[in-house]
Amino acid sequence: MAGLAESGSNPDVDLLYDINGLAKAAPPWVDHLMEFVGEYGLLFALLALLAWCWWGVRRRGGADAAPTVAALVWAPLAAGVAVLVNVPIRGFVERRRPFLDHEGLEVLVDGKNDYSFVSDHATLCMALAVGLFLANRRLGIIGLVLGLLGGFIRVYMGVHYPTDVVGGLALGTAVALLLSPPAMALLTPLMRAVERSPRGGWLVSARRRDERGRVAPGASRSGAAGAEERDLAA
Structural domain span for residue 68: 13-207
What pLDDT does 180 receive? 94
117 within 8 A of 168, measured Cβ to Cβ = no
Give 153-197 pLDDT, tens digit per residue.
999 998 899 999 999 999 999 999 999 999 999 999 998 888 887
Residue 141 falls within a domain, yes or no? yes
Give 14-48 pLDDT, tens digit per residue.
889 999 888 888 888 988 999 899 888 999 999 99
Q: Among 95, 89, 90, 52, which residue's Cα sits nearest to residue 72?
A: 52
Residue 121 falls within a domain, yes or no? yes
Q: Decide if pLDDT at 114 tops 50.
A: yes
Residue 169 falls within a domain, yes or no? yes
Give 203-224 pLDDT, tens digit per residue.
777 765 544 445 444 344 333 3
Residue 31 falls within a domain, yes or no? yes
Report which of residues 174 and 106 the model is more confident about.
Answer: 174
Residue 231 falls within a domain, yes or no? no
The pTM score is 0.80
Residue 104 falls within a domain, yes or no? yes
Kindly report which listed range (42-56, 94-108, 133-147, 180-194) carries the lowest average pLDDT score.
94-108
CATH number at residue 129: 1.20.144
Alpha-carbon span 7 to 61, nearest angstrom: 56
Phi and psi at 127, nearest 5°, equal -65, -45
**Number of domains within the chain:** 1
Residue 128 falls within a domain, yes or no? yes
Report which of residues 36 and 232 the model is more confident about.
Answer: 36
Q: Decide if pLDDT at 123 tops 70.
A: yes
Give 45-67 pLDDT, tens digit per residue.
999 999 999 988 888 877 888 88
Alpha-carbon span 127 to 173, nearest angstrom: 6
Q: Among 7, 19, 13, 40, which residue's Cα sits nearest to residue 109?
A: 40
Q: Among 208, 51, 15, which residue's Cα sits nearest to residue 128?
A: 51
What pLDDT does 9 receive? 65
Residue 161 falls within a domain, yes or no? yes
Alpha-carbon span 180 to 131, nearest angstrom: 8
